Amino acid sequence: MLCHGLTGSGDGFGGGFDVLASACRLIVPDLLGFGGSMDLDRSDFSLEAHLRALDEMLAALGLDDAPLTVVGHSMGAVLALHWASSRPTTRRVVSFCGPLYTSHEEAARHIRRMGLLERFYALETPLAERTCALMCEYRVLAQWVAVAVSPEWPVRLARQGVLHTWTSYLGGMNGVIQRAGWLQALEALEAAQVPVVLADGARDPVPVTERNLRLAERFRCVEAIQHPEAGHDLPVAYPDWCIRIIDPATATARSAASQSLGTNG
């Protein structure tokens, strides 16, 4: 299962990840309150609400007893750690660009240092709330503004970036990203002997520098990997690299098939 980041949607992983479906059941949900799961009337987007929604989704699919590889990007990485630690059938966890902050204070401090936009718009500020209110009132216009200011993103992804509410945004930022319980989740995964890969990009300002390395030293189950060129867009920019981490067997088979086609061609 692939869990997207804050303000994103399942489409954010891109078609490059579809190859994973050749060897398993691939689930790419729009997380509670985002994308196709946007809910204008809901008020509870807490971590617990997110976890319940994922549990209910798995049950509805008839996959309660299926072995799980849980993958997450950014906010989805934190959510993946929490959810994976609560599921007894988890076999592997992969975190891409995880904002693994140890406290609300560290999270706020780190995010403010990332830049002016993050300082005024990422956190719970009056300016961010007013901007979100305008976005909600003029959502179609906001979608096209998002396309204009984010030319590096595919149009569909840029438009989906405004499919959320202020309440669901705060649930993700305050209730998931700035909540420090992921350390207890790692401890539970260690006790269950579940391998965990913490991967990020060398140019990504979101993760705390060298935190993944320190966690790999502390936990036997953790492996830290870094892409030398990637930023926070690691999964969509380097899908093949990510697939090799998620499922080495699928990546090897895909590479062999490509080489065979090249030889036959």
CATH code for position 80: 3.40.50.1820
Is residue 14 predicted with pLDDT exceeding 90?
A: no
Question: Residue 132: inside a domain, yes or no?
Answer: no
> Could you read off the pLDDT of 58-82 as tens digits, one per residue?
999 999 999 999 999 999 999 999 9
pLDDT computed for residue 254 by the predictor: 55
> Could you read off the pLDDT of 209-264 as tens digits, one per residue?
999 999 999 999 999 999 999 999 999 999 999 999 999 876 555 555 555 545 45
Q: Could you give the CA distance from residue 210 to residue 190 in angstroms, rounded to a whole number? A: 20
pLDDT computed for residue 261 by the predictor: 46
Q: DSSP 3-state assignment of 71?
A: strand
CB contact burial 40-49 (16+ within 10 A = b; e otherwise):
eeeeebbbeb
pLDDT computed for residue 76 by the predictor: 98
Q: How confident is the model over 86-104, as a mean pLDDT?
A: 97
Question: Residue 228: inside a domain, yes or no?
Answer: yes
CB contact burial 82-120 (16+ within 10 A = b; e otherwise):
bbbbebeebebbbbbbbbbbeeeeebbebbeeeeeeebe
pLDDT computed for residue 258 by the predictor: 53
Q: DSSP 3-state assignment of 68?
A: strand
Question: Residue 160: inside a domain, yes or no?
Answer: no
Question: Residue 84: inside a domain, yes or no?
Answer: yes
Q: Which domain, by its residues, includes 41?
A: 2-100+179-264
In the chain, the percentage of residues whose pLDDT exceeds 90 is: 74
Question: Residue 113: inside a domain, yes or no?
Answer: no
Question: Residue 55: inside a domain, yes or no?
Answer: yes
Question: Residue 226: inside a domain, yes or no?
Answer: yes
* Total of domains in the chain: 1
Structure tokens, 103: 């406290």
Question: Residue 260: inside a domain, yes or no?
Answer: yes
